[in-house]
Amino acid sequence: NSEDVRCKCICPPYKDHSGHIYNKNVSQKDCDCLHVVEPMPVPGPDVEAYCLRCECKYEERSSVTIKVSCVILLV
């Protein structure tokens, strides 16, 4: 089961926490570290510093177009 929109946050290693990639289906306006990174791997005082290191991108795709293209290619 896949969605056509998502927010992808790539967070590099921070202190003793390893890097991680987070994906979540949220709206474009909510595409930031605070809405996507769950559970937050760092305690309260370090959240801002951790989130500043993360790179979040909103991504869209059309699964219908992809399916139609595959069918045309196979035919």
pLDDT more than 90, % of the chain: 72
Can you tell me the distance from the alpha carbon of 51 to that of 17, in angstroms, rounded to the nearest whole number?
A: 13
pLDDT, tens digit (0-9, with 9 covering 90-100), for 2-25: 578 899 999 999 989 899 999 999
The whole-number pLDDT of residue 2 equals 57
Q: Does residue 67 register a pLDDT over 70?
A: yes
Domains of the chain, residue spans: 5-74
Residue 7: Cβ-neighbour burial (10 angstroms; 0-12, 13-18, 19+) = buried
**Is 54 or 65 the better-scoring residue by pLDDT?**
54
Q: What is the residue-averaged pLDDT of the chain? A: 91
